[in-house]
Chains A and B, each alone.
Chain A
């Protein structure tokens, strides 16, 4: 008999699928595409024709407790959008950019793609094919196995500096041996009522507006739940938000200076002796060196750097350090500075030297059912092929944690063919020309001469239109089975198929079916359900069993580091070379990096290139989320688009007055690298007249496909170079200098 892993379960009134008033109701989990990183509990309603007619939040699921955001509520409109890709298509390589697709069958598509990929592997080596994913949808596990089983080490995503989530994850693993999230009782099915749980006294929301968007399996409105239970918040944000207006302290930071703020707060905590001596002595390494380093960041100097008043920095440090329980919920803004790793290290040190680690209401370790970070099937790749991973030599930190290539080096290599030429690209739900790619023109020019490009997606995106030779239609989550065991704290959750649209297949099916052709031994499963069961085999549950009992919560215990539960050798402490939380990082030192946190001015920026300020006087941040859109998705979904019809730039009233701009004006947002078109919204939420803030990832699906849906004029990343931090992580997507001027008639 299989030994079952110890889970804590939720009581269900009904089975996972049941009938109600002539409709079939299927309980399950949500995970993009379309729409987000989280994995809320949903109930999918289908009619007798098998059509999805309604989505509701599952009140029995402790994660969201019945609540849902508008993107899931509007799911049927996405599933049945008349713009969906419904069958495989191809076009001649010479016709890239032209809307001349030819419908083909799956067999034809697989036959031809298999033949081309095998031919490239034989002629040039498997490493000459890139396998690219988008954001953290349910892709990483499957596409990494596809790449590695084919023989290519070059799996990753086309984002400069891997500047989304990976810097935080890699930074935390490097210095502490695990990742950390705020304790919002998410580990317990009985949530806030669990007797072991304690509400944080203070939560810092750092570069993140969690009620609108999050990764890390963090449901943003937990913050609101906790505020109702007495938690105080402090907000680090250049914009006033709903949360900011309710914060005990709002720190209006200049974008890109997060490391300086954290170092300034550390300076106060160290010099005023507010740190947790006991925790620091017992469990950390290198405190004295950190204490010395923070002397370079007195609050007065930090105030000049961050544009936050000195007294607020001091106040924030004191409040955080003296709270009984405190935690920091951080966002993408921290990753999207060039020197992201030292910023992450400094922010994390705030929670570490105050002892808010591995205990109720502090920072906790997300439990893992599967090791998500390492990909799936790394053992399939030979040492010889592994060594060819792009960027590995230049950025040794890439050897640890996520086994991705380094994208800035990738673009360089696409252009130069050095040290070897690249020939093919498999793009699976990624849209770099509209969304994550820096300098999209450069990416386009580097990619357009590749011999062979395949795109897999829900819709024809600008990137597919520009570059793909073959396009395969991917299923949305109600059209597929799957596991929702991904980033952030893991629960045993299944995604359950309820409907079929056109000839769409799930990403997992596509990867299994193609992978089997490229390397049959690596894909021994008859179908995806068998593959899922094999992945979760060690839990003792098959896929079919898990879907009956989901959500399944791993037993959670606090203070694992005291109990010897963090290290493979069973000793107390943390899973680092020193067994301690490394405030001075042995791994950074080993990789030739500064072992201590530091701040470097974003460049260009007011501190590094003051000579540019005359021409480009405004500090721009990009990518603030809005309710209805997930990255480059949802511009083609009418109910969601109606809430945000145009790409917006927020401009401070004083600046608007100076520039004679009014609400609704179209402007060019321009820096020394390029420009993008935006519509002005005059608003006082910018906390300094020099700040402005704009949406990312815009394209207009209603426009001409052969004009790439207008993306060339709309891509805000026209202003962003491919330029990463010294570690290979981090890039300045969210901090640059710009000017604004009106779009002329006819432009």
Chain B
């Protein structure tokens, strides 16, 4: 199954709450400041008029193992489980990639 699963992030809804980072740190016992996932910020700045750029989005790094121990038991990766905005979906890449065309501001991570 290696390389066939991933996480789809509908980052238009990511509120930047850091729950994914903290869940990951605690699940894997990573040192402070390290995580398999990190929330990045774009903005805030005023584009024009009343329109602002202000987005958050998680990115996944080398310490993400897609919570292999959890998913082997049929549980969700801890970041997906705890995401307060419910903006992450775990699943097979082919199923997730079919969802990408639905709307903008989504990212699919092959992990």
Contacts and interface: CB of A to CB of B under 8 A. Distances in A.
Given A70-B22, A639-B32, A685-B44, A242 B81 contact: no
Contacts of A59: 81
Interface string B20-39: 01110111000011000000
Contacts of B78: 56
Nearest to A64: B84
A487 B46 CA distance: 38
Nearest to B14: A242
Nearest to B26: A73
B30 to A, nearest CB: 10
Given A221-B85, A250-B50, A67 B32 contact: no
Nearest to A641: B32
B107 interface: no
B86 interface: yes
Interface in A1-45: 21
Contacts, number: 82
B13 A211 contact: no
Nearest to B54: A245
Contact of A74 (B15, B26, B33, B81): B26
Interface string A63-76: 00011111001101
Contacts of B16: 242
A643 B18 contact: yes
B33 A221 contact: no
Nearest to B41: A242
Point out which of A70, A228, A683 has the most chain B C-beta atoms below 10 A from its C-beta.
Answer: A70
B33 A242 contact: no
Contact of B19 (A67, A639, A642): A67
Nearest to A21: B73
Majority SS of interface residues in chain B? mixed
Interface string A199-228: 000000000000110000000110011001
Contacts of A69: 17, 19, 84
Contact of B23 (A73, A212, A228, A638): A73
Contacts of B46: 684
A684 B22 CA distance: 28
A57 interface: yes
Interface in B38-86: 43-46, 50, 52, 54, 56, 73, 78, 81-86
Nearest to A211: B15
A421 interface: no
Nearest to A241: B54
A67 B15 contact: no
Contact of B17 (A228, A245, A627): A627
Given A67-B86, A73-B26, A240 B19 contact: no
A66 B88 CA distance: 13
Nearest to B50: A250
A54 interface: yes
B37 to A, nearest CB: 13
B52 A245 contact: yes
A639 B22 contact: yes
Interface in A405-461: none
A245 B55 CA distance: 9
Nearest to A20: B73
Nearest to B46: A684
A685 B46 CA distance: 9
Q: How large is the interface on B (under 10, 10 to 19, 20 to 34, 35 or more residues)?
A: 20 to 34
B44 A67 contact: no
Interface in A233-252: 240, 242, 244-245, 250
Contacts of B22: 70, 73-74, 639
A642 B22 CA distance: 11
A2 B5 CA distance: 53
Q: How large is the interface on A (under 10, 10 to 19, 20 to 34, 35 or more residues)?
A: 35 or more
Contact of B18 (A56, A57, A627): A627
Interface in A610-638: 627-628, 638
Contacts of B73: 21
B17 A70 contact: yes
A225 B56 CA distance: 17
A28 to B, nearest CB: 17
Contacts of A211: 15, 17, 84
Nearest to A70: B22
Contacts of B44: 240, 245, 683-685
B102 to A, nearest CB: 13
Point out which of A212, A250, A684 has the most chain B C-beta atoms below 10 A from its C-beta.
Answer: A684
Contacts of A66: 81-82
A642 B26 contact: no
Contacts of B52: 240, 244-245
A55 to B, nearest CB: 8
Contacts of B15: 211, 221, 224, 242
B50 to A, nearest CB: 7
A684 B44 CA distance: 7
Contacts of A76: 26
Contacts of A67: 19, 82-84, 86
A74 B82 CA distance: 12
Point out which of B18, B19, B25, B56 has the most chain A C-beta atoms below 10 A from its C-beta.
Answer: B19
A627 B15 CA distance: 11
Contacts of B86: 67, 221, 224-225
Given A242-B54, A684-B45, A73 B17 contact: no
B84 A221 contact: yes
Nearest to B81: A66
A651 to B, nearest CB: 14
Interface in A74-115: 74, 76
A684 B33 CA distance: 27
A21 B82 CA distance: 21
Point out which of B22, B27, B44 has the most chain A C-beta atoms below 10 A from its C-beta.
Answer: B22
Nearest to B43: A245
B48 to A, nearest CB: 13
Nearest to B82: A68
B26 A54 contact: yes
A479 B50 CA distance: 49
Nearest to B16: A242
Contacts of B50: 250
A69 B19 CA distance: 5
Point out which of A250, A638, A639 has the most chain B C-beta atoms below 10 A from its C-beta.
Answer: A639
Nearest to A219: B84
A54 B29 CA distance: 10
B76 to A, nearest CB: 8
Contacts of B17: 69-70, 211-212, 221, 627
Point out which of B23, B33, B50, B84 has the most chain A C-beta atoms below 10 A from its C-beta.
Answer: B84
Nearest to A75: B26
Contacts of A74: 22, 26
A73 B29 CA distance: 12
Contacts of A244: 52
A240 B54 contact: yes
Contacts of B18: 70, 627-628, 643
Contacts of A221: 15, 17, 84-86
A51 to B, nearest CB: 14
Contact of B85 (A54, A224, A639): A224
A225 B15 CA distance: 12
B82 A73 contact: yes
13 contacts: A59-B81, A67-B84, A68-B82, A68-B84, A69-B17, A211-B15, A212-B17, A224-B13, A242-B54, A627-B17, A639-B25, A639-B32, A642-B33
Given A67-B86, A643-B18, A685-B44, 8 more contacts: A56-B81, A69-B19, A70-B17, A74-B22, A221-B86, A240-B52, A245-B44, A684-B45
For the complex of A and B, 4 pairs with smallest distance between CB atoms: A70-B22, A245-B54, A73-B22, A245-B52
